[in-house]
């Protein structure tokens, strides 16, 4: 009997000491300058860039944590990141690289009753379906008239980043550049666009910028809806451009 238990424990060992996280790497060629991986136990995120890494932000609908790096490489402990699916945004100089991080429970934590496991699964699926931040309100009684007024008030979602589309028109040819950027990048591009419009080469250029509420959801939405720029309503971004300017 003792021998049988020993064999069983040896069989379960790899699962008990399995990785605590999974990193879905960004294989886009634009992200090739950033080496990103986990250590063997999956509790540390390892980043190394060809250019300076400014900031790292890990978030989902229920959690957010930012790390100021300002160096070519860093190691970030994931010990305080809860179970779930997270968007990891790494700002490398003027570029934003997006990585998906999955945090798992260890095998020991999952040995619970069936009822508890089902609740955990439901909560985890809820996290997977959501990517935008929501403000949780305190529980309190609200009169029906107040509810009507609150429903009529427009809800302003927090802007995470901006989707920038710059169209360069040179008469005989044209090209389009698209990227995700923060407010600092947006301000620089608007300023440069205004300068370009005054020049002979750039006077026909066009710049359109949208506010993005959820970066990963927007990128999926954009792939599924090539006509996203003409839509009147969407949950992941503001369909009314934050900035829109056409050349002469």
Running DSSP on this structure, what letter comes out for residue 237?
A: B
Is 135 within the bounds of a domain? Answer: no
pLDDT tier for residue 34 given thresholds of 50, 70 and 90 = very high
The confidence score (pLDDT) of residue 19 equals: 61
Q: Higher pLDDT residue, 1 or 214?
A: 214
Is 176 within the bounds of a domain? Answer: yes
Helix (H) or strand (E) holding 210: strand 206-212
Q: pTM of the entire structure?
A: 0.46
Same domain, 114 and 36: yes
d(Cα 38, Cα 227) in Å, to the nearest integer? 37
d(Cα 181, Cα 166) in Å, to the nearest integer? 12
d(Cα 241, Cα 183) in Å, to the nearest integer? 14
Same domain, 116 and 174: no
Report the CATH number that the domain containing residue 102 is assigned in CATH: 2.60.40
Same domain, 117 and 179: no
The confidence score (pLDDT) of residue 191 equals: 92
Is 22 within the bounds of a domain? Answer: yes
Two tokens, residue 168: 């360069």
Q: How many domains does the chain divide into? A: 2
Handedness of CA 58, 214, 160, 133 (dihedral sign): negative
Is 70 within the bounds of a domain? Answer: yes
The confidence score (pLDDT) of residue 150 equals: 42
Is 149 within the bounds of a domain? Answer: no
d(Cα 124, Cα 85) in Å, to the nearest integer? 8
Same domain, 24 and 113: yes
Please return the burial class of 76, using the count of CB atoms within 10 Å of its CB with bins 0-12, 13-18 and 19+. Answer: middle
The confidence score (pLDDT) of residue 155 equals: 58
Q: What is the mean pLDDT of residues 64-81?
A: 88
Q: Higher pLDDT residue, 121 or 42?
A: 42
* Mean pLDDT for the chain overall: 75
pLDDT surpasses 90 at 178: no
- 68 three-class SS: strand
Running DSSP on this structure, what letter comes out for residue 48?
A: E
| CA 55, chain centre distance (Å) | 13
Same domain, 96 and 199: no
Q: Which domain holds residue 188?
A: 161-246
Q: Higher pLDDT residue, 60 or 16?
A: 60
Is 39 within the bounds of a domain? Answer: yes
Same domain, 24 and 114: yes
Q: Which of 44-48, 106-110, 130-134 has the highest mean pLDDT?
A: 44-48
Two tokens, residue 40: 């063997």
How many helices (H) and strands (E) the chain has is answered by 6, 10
The CA-CA-CA angle for residues 182, 164, 25, to 5°, reads 70
Same domain, 178 and 113: no
Q: Which of 7-11, 23-27, 168-172, 187-191 has the highest mean pLDDT?
A: 187-191
Handedness of CA 84, 85, 91, 92 (dihedral sign): positive
- In terms of C-beta distances under 8 Å and separation of at least 24 residues, what long-range contacts does 181-186 make, across chains too? 181/94, 181/96, 182/91, 182/96, 185/94, 186/162, 186/242, 186/243
pLDDT digits (tens, 9 = 90+) for 124-158: 443 334 333 333 333 443 444 444 444 444 557 88
Q: What is the mean pLDDT of residues 69-98?
A: 88
């Amino acid at each position: 009997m003792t021998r049988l238990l020993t064999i069983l424990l040896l069989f379960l060992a790899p699962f008990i000491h399995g990785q605590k996280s999974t990193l879905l790497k960004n294989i886009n060629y634009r992200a090739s300058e950033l080496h990103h991986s986990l250590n063997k136990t999956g509790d540390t995120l390892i980043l190394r860039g060809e250019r300076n890494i400014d900031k790292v932000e890990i978030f989902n609908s229920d959690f957010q944590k930012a790390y100021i790096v300002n160096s070519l490489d860093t190691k970030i402990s994931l010990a305080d990141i809860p179970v779930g699916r997270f968007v990891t945004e790494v700002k490398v100089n003027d570029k934003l690289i997006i990585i998906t991080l999955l945090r798992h429970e260890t095998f020991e934590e999952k040995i619970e009753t069936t009822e508890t496991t089902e609740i955990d699964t439901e909560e985890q699926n809820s996290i997977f379906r959501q990517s935008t931040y929501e403000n949780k309100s305190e529980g309190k009684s609200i009169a029906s008239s107040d509810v009507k007024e609150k429903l009529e008030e427009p809800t302003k979602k927090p802007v995470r980043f901006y989707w920038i589309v710059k169209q360069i028109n040179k008469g005989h040819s044209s090209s389009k550049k698209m990227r995700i950027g923060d407010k600092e990048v947006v301000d620089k591009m608007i300023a440069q666009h205004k300068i370009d419009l005054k020049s002979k080469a750039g006077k026909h250029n066009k710049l359109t910028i949208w506010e993005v509420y959820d970066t990963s959801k927007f990128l999926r939405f954009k792939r599924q809806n090539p006509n996203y720029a003409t839509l009147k309503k969407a949950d992941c971004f503001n369909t009314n451009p934050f900035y829109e300017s056409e050349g002469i």
